[in-house]
Amino acid sequence: MAAATPTRSEFVSLGNKRAVVGVFTSIADTNTWNPGMSFIDAVIIGNGAKTTTYGHTLDTAKRVITFDLSASLASCEVTVIGV
């Protein structure tokens, strides 16, 4: 499992929650990303690819995302909501 590194990321305050938006050149199946949160509540993967099935799993501490993809995604954004 290789770590995916965003080309840029932005932090957003949502009251008692926060969000991190990571922009990736590409991510592949089983890549991981640690957005730096204590606890992840939700992950939203945005990409225009209609032929790729994508999802994710979280580690037991709910801090690290492992991408579950049918093919690599190029030019995608991942929004993570948590604390």
In 3D space, the residue among 82, 83, 4 whose CA is nearest the CA of residue 43 turns out to be 82
Q: What's the pLDDT at 42?
A: 96
**Bridge partners, residue 79, by sequence:** 21, 44
> What does pTM read for this prediction?
0.90
Structural domains in the chain, CATH included, are 8-82 (2.60.40.3940)
pLDDT tens readout for residues 27-75: 999 999 999 999 999 999 988 777 788 899 999 999 999 999 998 998 9
Strand partners, 80: 20, 43
Q: Report the DSSP beta bridge partners of residue 20.
A: 11, 80
pLDDT for 52 equals: 81
